[in-house]
Amino acid sequence: MNIEVKTQTEALYTLRVLTNNTDALIDEIAALVNSNKKQFQHAPVILQIEDKNFQANELAVLVEILTQNDMVAVGIRSRKQELIDFAKFSGLAVFGKSLTPPGKPKSKSVSKALTNKDMTSSNQSKVYQAPKIITNKVYPSTQVVAKDSDLVLLKAVKAGSEVMSYGSISAYKEVQGQLFAGIFGDEKATIFIQSFNAQLVSIAGIYKKFDVVPTKLYARSVMIDLVNGSLRFQII
């Protein structure tokens, strides 16, 4: 067995990944969800990648495996720059050290995982605080703000609402409202929208308003970043 699940809060799980064998992960994740669908279906998950040979394409496959099993990848924890770069491009949050409190953690194990005690590095890349996770719909006339962190939206964002984040924003349902990332000038912030129908998107004060969403973007998965002072829209 190559994965272990640890409860971080009632709603957020860490999935420790100890192999890059995606065939094995397909079976194990499916078995995990089937063992307790009420607990794991639609659950947000942090992917803690501990296999040093894990590649970006394998991370993409792993995220798709979770999606097919109705779990939601919200971020990763890894020392490998290739995976960190891919996560940021894909709209996933990047976490630092484990969020497990000191002392022996209460964990639900689906495998006998081997922990590498040498995984900690003093030369880690820049990391972010745990993102603010919104598990409910964002309704019209509602304003949501994530201070000092990225923001993850698991439900739809309705027209007439405003969502703001000091960092990046990842939205895993349809967005009809207005999204503002990097509101204090973070030009490296990104916006990921699973189903694009936004009224307005903004990064570090550079914005694009849509009276009518272009056909090429409508209902598509879109990644938005800032390049040379202009917003770049990429369909992914």
Identify the pLDDT of residue 127.
45
Across all residues in the chain, what is the average pLDDT? 80
61, pLDDT greater than 90 = no
Strands 200-203 and 206-209: antiparallel
Positive or negative, the CA dihedral 138, 70, 195, 16 is positive
User: Using 50, 70 and 90 to split pLDDT, how confident is the model at 4?
Assistant: low
Q: Could you give the CA distance from residue 205 to residue 201 in angstroms, rounded to a whole number? A: 10
pLDDT single digits (tens) 106-115? 334 333 332 3
pLDDT single digits (tens) 178-201? 999 998 888 989 999 999 999 999
User: Using 50, 70 and 90 to split pLDDT, how confident is the model at 22?
Assistant: confident
User: Using 50, 70 and 90 to split pLDDT, how confident is the model at 223?
Assistant: very high
Domain ranges, ordered by start, for the chain: 3-100, 132-235
Q: Could you give the CA distance from residue 18 to residue 6 in angstroms, rounded to a whole number? A: 14
Rounded mean pLDDT, 120-145: 69
Q: What's the CATH class of domain 3-100?
A: alpha beta
| Residues 6+ positions from 219 with CB-CB distance below 8 Å | 174, 195, 196, 197
Q: Could you give the CA distance from residue 77 to residue 83 in angstroms, rounded to a whole number? A: 9
Per-range mean pLDDT, top range of 82-96, 100-114, 122-136 = 82-96
139, pLDDT greater than 80 = yes
Location of structure tokens 């064998």: 21
131, pLDDT greater than 90 = no
In CATH, the architecture of 132-235 is: 3 Solenoid (2.160)
Report which of residues 156 and 110 the model is more confident about. 156
**Burial classification of residue 86, based on how many CB atoms lie within 10 Å of its CB (0-12 exposed, 13-18 middle, 19 or more buried):** buried
Identify the pLDDT of residue 74.
86
